[in-house]
Amino acid sequence: RFSTAAALEETITPSVQISYTQHFINGQFVDAASGKTFPAYDPRTGEVIARVAEGDAEDVNRAVAAARKAFDEGPWPKMSAYERSLIMLRFADLVDKHRGELAALESWNSGKPYEQSAKSELPSFARLFRYYAGWADKIHGLTVPADGKHHVQTLHEPIGVAGQIIPWNFPLIMFAWKVGPALACGNTIVLKSAEQTPLTALYAAKLFQEAGLPPGVLNVVSGDGPSAGAALASHMDVDKIAFTGSTETGKIILELAAKSNLKQVTLELGGKSPFIVCEDAEVDKAVDLAHFALFFNQGQCCCAGSRTYVHERVYDEFVEKAKARALTRVVGDPFRKGVEQGPQISSEQFEKVLGYIKSGVESSATLECGGQRFGSRGYFIQPTVFSNVQDDMLIAQDEIFGPVQSILKFKNIDEVIRRANTSRYGLAAGIFTKNLDTANTLSRALRVGTVWINCFDVFDAAIPFGGYKMSGIGREKGIYSLSNYLQVKAVVTPLKNPAW
Ligand code: NAD
């Protein structure tokens, strides 16, 4: 069934040294002001792999002061956009050069399969910076044909100091979604990584230093949410805060921004995305895609297709095959070749996911397979499939963030639109059909930020991503992300000779 649990006992040693554990402030690696450190774990075993500087309000103050100085006194916002883009391109080249180490560090600290890190996420990471480097010298305002005797133009200016708070499920990719557009637009940055995964952001900071980024332009503080994160979100000298994580924390961020200096806010929050398998579906293909949509990254994706709606005509066959596919999913050491699923990120998430599985069983959904931990140490969970899931069950409403597929039956398109839209979330949706009319109807009716038709998790740098409803505010990636990091200034000049 799965990779044998015994194989988990001998963990493969990743081929990377952990060299950067201090904060990166004003171009230097420095200890926490308090001198404190906190542990970074290997989720395969729960063992500590490094101790990392633990940031609090004082470290955030120091980082913000450095970012403020680099913004106000330059050179970053005053450098030519082309020079900024060259630094970002140099950084992307260094990422390619250090791909193996970065991928190993990412997988070691987060538990995601090494092949996924090395072959998919690291290339995307470098690509995102090349994409944003391309934007740097193409950001410009407009000439506005206003009424009256005036010449009117708009200037698109950087906002200033951007605070950025990222989660643990895609530590490097989230770093790129935030840092890329902020740098391209000429902002300076204080980024707080997730306390579970502090290591790769610090490595990336080192590569930025090597690429020639001036001191203070990018500062990375490690530490937890209520101290370092909250200090950043409520800082009076931070002009903008961008956050990815849970909806609960998103609300806190918005409140802290409102109560401090009304800094601008973008939020990328939770989801409970429907994956809709229509009656004309080729079941084998639909099963594979629905499986990928849910189980990818140990089920730890904000946009995971976590409500699998299947038309009644193909439902029984789908459930049987979804179970068979889950039973063949290879769980094991993320550094072992061919492993599809590593451990969950932490003991908290592990317990939380097992709690949801228990709730599914108690609410009389049918447990088709899985449902238990995998092995006896670390945070591995068996790929789990529930059928007969009803909309009012907790497992159909909450973001489980784990390898738990919930399959629901539907009868017709109007019904599935209504049910899919009842969620408080609106991040993404998948549609599986060959019928163009059905695809068009669903993609317009669903209240979500991304619709994937016969595909899922397509994350090109140019495609905007973000949520409707309680899934967030604003869009990241693509041209839309630039407006998160720009102010628009209108400049009005009287015309001496209006005839011309
Ligand atoms: P979280 O929202 O608490 O953490 C995300 C980031 O916010 C981290 O960097 C954290 O340090 C920071 N943070 C936490 N509290 C803060 C505060 N008061 N002020 C400022 N920053 C703060 O998420 P979590 O506790 O790590 O995970 C809980 C749940 O969130 C998961 O089970 C999952 O459902 C969801 N989640 C969603 C995403 C996503 O991509 N949308 C990512 C991670 C987790």
Instruction: Give the nearest ligand 1 atom to 398 CA.
Output: 34
Q: Compute CA distances 381 → 293, 332, 369, 376, whole Å.
A: 17, 10, 12, 10
Q: Please give the number of the atom of ligand 1 that sits closest to the Cα of 224.
A: 11
What is the distance in A from the centroid of ligand 1 to the CA of 65? 25
**421: nearest Cα among 276, 219, 298, 250:** 276
Q: Give a three-class secondary structure readout of 153-184.
A: EEEEEECCEEEEECCCCCHHHHHHHHHHHHHH
What phi, psi does 389 have (nearest 5°)? -85, 140
pLDDT in tens, 408-459: 999 999 999 999 999 999 999 999 999 999 999 999 999 999 999 999 999 9
Nearest CA to ligand 1 atom 28: 246
User: Which residue minimizes the CA distance to atom 18 of ligand 1?
Assistant: 226
The partner residues of 429 in beta bridges, in order of sequence, read 451
The minimum-distance atom of ligand 1 relative to the CA of 256 is 19
Backbone angles phi, psi at 426, to 5 degrees: -155, 50
pLDDT at 500: 65
Q: Along the chain (500 residues), what's the average pLDDT of each consecutive run of 10 residues?
A: 59 92 98 98 98 98 98 91 98 98 98 98 98 98 93 97 98 98 98 98 98 98 98 98 98 98 98 98 97 98 98 98 98 96 98 98 97 96 98 98 98 98 98 98 98 98 98 98 98 84
Q: What is the 3-state secondary structure (H, E, C) of 316-383?
A: HHHHHHHHHHHHHCCECCCCCCCCCECCCCCHHHHHHHHHHHHHHHHCCCEEEECCCECCCCCCCECC
Ligand 1 atom at minimum distance from 270 CA: 41
Residue nearest to atom 42 of ligand 1 (CA): 245
Of 168, 193, 180, 72, which is closest to residue 129 (Cα–Cα)? 180
Atom 12, ligand 1: residue with shortest CA distance:
225
| CA 249 / ligand 1 centre spacing (Å) | 6
Instruction: Using the mean position of ligand 1's atoms as its centre, give its distance from the Cα of residue 248 in Å.
Output: 8
Looking at ligand 1, which residue's alpha carbon is closest to its atom 35? 246
Q: Tell me the best of 110, 196, 244, 246 to mutate to test the pocket of ligand 1, counting ligand atoms within 8 Å of each CB and taking the most.
A: 246
Which atom in ligand 1 lies closest to the alpha carbon of residue 165? Answer: 9
> In which residue are the tokens 């934007």 written?
135
Instruction: For 58-105, give the DSSP string.
Output: HHHHHHHHHHHHHHHS-SGGGS-HHHHHHHHHHHHHHHHHTHHHHHHH
- Rounded to the nearest angstrom, the distance between the alpha carbon of 243 and the centre of ligand 1 is 9
Measuring CA to CA, which residue among 132, 138, 129 is closest to residue 102?
129
Give the three-class secondary structure for 445.
helix
| Torsion sign across C-alpha atoms 171, 172, 176, 182 | positive
Q: From ligand 1's centre to the CA of 271, what distance in Å? A: 13
Span 303-345, pLDDT tens digits: 999 999 999 999 999 999 999 999 999 999 999 999 999 999 9
Distance CA 132, CA 185 (A): 9
Protein residue closest via CA to atom 32 of ligand 1: 401
Ligand 1 interacting residues, C-beta cut-off 6 A: 165-169, 192, 194-195, 224-226, 229-230, 233, 244-246, 249, 252-253, 268-270, 302, 349, 352, 399, 401
d(CA 340, CA 336): 9
CB 352 within 8 A of CB 369: no
By annotation, the residues acting in catalysis are: 268, 302
What is the residue with the minimal CA distance to atom 4 of ligand 1? Answer: 245
Q: Say how far apart CA 17 and CA 21 lie, in whole Å.
A: 11
Give this complex's ipTM.
0.96
CB atoms within 10 A of CB 1: 14
246 Cα: distance to centroid of ligand 1 (angstroms): 5
Q: How far is the centre of ligand 1, averaged over its atoms, from the C-alpha of 167 (Å)? A: 6
Ligand 1 atom closest to Cα of residue 399: 34
In the block, which residue shows the tokens 């305002």?
Answer: 141
* pLDDT at residue 1, rounded to an integer: 46
Separation of 156 CA from ligand 1 center, angstroms? 31
Q: Tell me how far CA of residue 488 lies from CA of 76, 144, 159, in angstroms.
A: 19, 13, 9
Measured by CA distance, the residue closest to atom 27 of ligand 1 is 246
Strand 450-453 versus strand 428-432 pairing type: parallel
**Pocket perturbation via mutation, ligand 1, pick of 60, 165, 260, 269 by most ligand atoms within 8 A of CB:** 165
Q: Are 412 and 435 in contact (CB under 8 A)?
A: no
